[in-house]
Structure 1
């Protein structure tokens, strides 16, 4: 008789773990709950392994991701796929077979908090393969170094080296790239790298060829304000929780993880914080940079007195190579035509929307593509088993923009 209760009890426990109250506007909430439950489960196991001294939590999570997601380079009748090096950095190259002699080109940086994932993952492989087929374009998906073994500026340097190589005459000749139709792109942490690279190369007078466009998908662009309206609204919305983003930032910047509570309290950006110049604050003043419908009823959290010395201890917090939102208008104005995707239920929504405003104020042509039912990471969840309608829509519209503007 007791055995009869085992199944219902286990099912109830699983349902309790999976279920999470979500805002009513989230697209296909149960799929997001399942995805989040798997991610939380892996994070929990990683935290346990970290606490026991077995390995770093990120290393274990990456091993799980690699085991489940990383696939071999497989060509198809329409796309030749190879693993290669781009400026000394590993990259997966998707080369269309046939089509025009000169191809459009996209160098792509994957997301994952500068610590997780790979361009060889199934989701990114499928995205880049579809881009290559639909655009008749060469796509190079870069596997930059990851935290905790590599910290800022290592990931940035990898992205920059790969991008310089992508623009070089040798790579253009080898892959038949049209020098006037090249794009730098990425999602989340990869969007951060793409934005930083676009800024740096826009100022390089020695380049013979430049990017025509930059395409940023829910990019993370600053770490000085963890109380933007989107951080307040979506702090408990999967898959990117507010504390997780703070942890990713500290790992990327090689900072003491004990600083996490200070970041989450905005103590590191207090008015008395030495090393935080007044000229920086207007660049992330979301009360001025966001429209009223995004600010909603939320109020900024600016501490008069914080924890002294945080910016001095972590100077990369104000480094534009790590936080592209902080760049000067003159730098932004030199960057190429931009596409910025944002999602309503994403802590990073306001990072992207503030960047849209700052780019436009600098005279850059920008397409802002916002998804009212979207969540962080949705674009790469466009395929079974956890495909979503908003994932398919966002991917299709991203590729359509590239087709029309590249």
Structure 2
């Protein structure tokens, strides 16, 4: 018969083995759960898919936190998401520290001016940059946007102005548009350009995503404004969002579940921007708001018919989606959906003929791919010179991921290429 100490030791050993197995099982289950949450099927041609999965899982978690906080009445979802973005962007180290910065107001609008060091009396070229983030998110004076503006200022030896427009949900359309127009008109005044030693013949406007939307709209406004004597020479639109009448273009259908900009999220951004009811998201993503009305169909076919404006290899087997019976009252409740100031793709040809030469960047794995490509084609048909730089491995937001600690090869290439284009043409 075993002594009590031996029995106790064996039982202790058994408990230890049991606890180790239990811990191993729990660890395995957690690992499976985390892997299940992180893993999403992605196109094999997308840039660095596993890195993108981790990034997307983080962003989805933040969006989920925002939704929970909003539903509990603790905070608006946008504030929660923006707080997380600001915290992340604060981790990005400041680059090109010799660039001089000045925070100032242009006609009451907050802007930051970046200037290369040293003045030798010569006039410099300039870029006005408008940040993206669905008209609601983004920290233009921090992290990746700050690094991007510093890099443009350094590489181009240019004065760069970034517009810190107010965002949703504090304000809605047309406030963001109006503030960008006011800042642009103020900057383009001859005395302001002279103050910053900027050549009035060499000024560009640039923006990414929702900033691309605003940059395109600003280019249209200044191009047709007879009171503005100085005009933009170039416009650079980085995966711009340009319309909200068709959420079933070929790229929306192909990429509706590809990170980081899902179709549902884009619809939410639009509704937030226009100050509309977010419960309309589902109606928008199935195109209920553009049910087949003769006048509306005529507008769509003349301005954003992707079946004729896109190359055939992009259309593939996708078909237009326009319900016979939908919710036409949505357009009456949200008239800005038909306003070219909010949706620059809806501009008349006579307006497009007045805008500057364009560089439009698009990504194959982006719901907004076709917005940019349709606009490029419409500009070409209007007689405007266009460079459409398309990235087969590109996804939405990649330009923001060209800097440490979260960088992608496609983002680094994209930033390099569009700055090179500016260097050659501005």
**TM-score using structure 2 length:** 0.92
**TM-score using structure 1 length:** 0.96
Correspondence 1:164 to 2:190: no
Greater Cα shift, 238-247 or 75-84: 75-84
Match of 1:205 in 2: 226
Correspondence 1:195 to 2:216: yes
Match for 1:123 among 131, 136, 144? 144
Match of 2:173 in 1: 152
Match for 1:134 among 142, 155, 171? 155
Structure 1 residues not aligned, in runs of 5+ = none
On the 8 A contact 1:232/1:298 being kept in 2, the answer is yes
On the 8 A contact 1:108/1:140 being kept in 2, the answer is yes
Greater Cα shift, 162-171 or 198-207: 162-171
Q: How does 1:84-95 map to 2 (within 5 A)?
A: 84-95=104-115
Pairwise CA distance, 1:71: 7.7
Distance 1:83 1:62, change over 3 A: same
Distance across 1 between alignment mates of 2:200 and 2:193: 7
Distance across 2 between alignment mates of 1:270 and 1:308: 6
Distance across 1 between alignment mates of 2:94 and 2:281: 41
Distance across 2 between alignment mates of 1:378 and 1:168: 33
Match of 1:361 in 2: 381
Pairwise CA distance, 1:6: 4.0
On the 8 A contact 1:70/1:120 being kept in 2, the answer is no
Greater Cα shift, 64-73 or 352-361: 64-73
Pairwise CA distance, 1:279: 3.3
Distance across 2 between alignment mates of 1:221 and 1:392: 24
Correspondence 1:106 to 2:127: yes
On the 8 A contact 2:96/2:154 being kept in 1, the answer is no
Distance across 1 between alignment mates of 2:181 and 2:108: 11
Greater Cα shift, 311-320 or 8-17: 8-17
The superposition leaves residues 267-307 of structure 1 with CA deviations (integer Å, 9 ceiling, x where unpaired) of 1111138x737334321100010010111110111222211
Correspondence 1:288 to 2:326: no
On the 8 A contact 1:105/1:177 being kept in 2, the answer is yes
Match of 1:9 in 2: 29
Greater Cα shift, 212-221 or 300-309: 300-309
Structure 2 residues not aligned, in runs of 5+ = 1-19
On the 8 A contact 1:91/1:119 being kept in 2, the answer is no
Q: What secondary structure sits across from 2:406 in the alignment? A: coil
The superposition leaves residues 29-64 of structure 1 with CA deviations (integer Å, 9 ceiling, x where unpaired) of 111111111110000000000110111111111111
On the 8 A contact 2:129/2:207 being kept in 1, the answer is yes
Distance across 2 between alignment mates of 1:276 and 1:77: 51
Match for 2:338 among 313, 318, 325? 318
Match of 1:49 in 2: 69
Higher Cα Rg: structure 1 or 2? 2
The number of residues matched between the two structures is 405
Distance across 2 between alignment mates of 1:177 and 1:353: 31
